[in-house]
């Protein structure tokens, strides 16, 4: 299958996509390196594959809420959820035609979006940074080591999600 899996990509039904995303959400509960999670993939797949934007937003946000109920909540979560919502909305509009290039580019853009929004949130909601331009720059610099894991996990989990969706029986366009 390899790179050709994108050539004839068929959008799975939203029910199958919800199962894939639920699986990815459950994988957040497995011990992992910091920021090496399927959040970006959940958001990209939901936004790209579910026609109804409301449903595409609900799928990863509910999955996150369920896993965060186990993992624990924190003061900057609104920024994490906001970044995921932006990724869903962006991929809903960017990824009209799915290809290796468009999905890879979306994974990069999603990693950058997540980095920018969540590090801004860390700066805004924590007292460890001064609330000025210097503190904001410090927050972004402190987040750089985590960016690699975000990017690699976006690429990996998105590829897994796309591959898994192509293995499903009775593929059909997401009609929700």
10-60 pLDDT tens trace = 666 777 777 777 777 788 888 999 999 888 988 998 898 888 899 889 888
Q: Which two tokens stand for residue 154?
A: 């976006």
Residue pair 117/82 in contact (Cβ under 8 Å)? The answer is yes
Instruction: Answer whether residue 174 shows pLDDT above 50.
Output: no
Instruction: Answer whether residue 146 shows pLDDT above 90.
Output: yes
* Residue 130 to residue 103: CA distance in whole angstroms: 37
Q: What are phi and psi of 31, to 5 degrees?
A: -55, 135
Q: What is the chain's mean pLDDT, rounded?
A: 85
């Amino acid at each position: 299958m390899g790179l050709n899996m994108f050539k004839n990509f068929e959008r799975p039904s939203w029910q199958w996509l919800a199962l894939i995303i639920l699986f990815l959400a459950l994988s957040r509960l497995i011990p992992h390196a910091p920021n090496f999670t399927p959040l970006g993939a959940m958001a990209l797949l939901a936004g790209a594959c579910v026609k109804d934007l409301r449903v595409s937003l609900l799928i990863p946000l509910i999955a996150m809420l369920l896993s965060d109920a186990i993992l624990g909540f924190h003061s900057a979560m609104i920024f994490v959820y906001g970044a995921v919502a932006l990724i869903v909305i962006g991929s809903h509009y960017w990824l009209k035609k799915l290809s290796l290039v468009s999905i890879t580019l979306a994974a990069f853009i999603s990693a950058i979006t997540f980095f920018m929004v969540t590090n801004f949130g860390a700066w805004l909601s924590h007292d460890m940074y001064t609330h000025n331009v210097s503190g904001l720059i410090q927050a972004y610099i402190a987040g750089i080591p985590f960016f690699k894991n975000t990017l690699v996990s976006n690429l990996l989990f998105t590829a897994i999600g796309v591959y898994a969706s192509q293995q499903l029986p009775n593929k059909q366009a997401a009609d929700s």
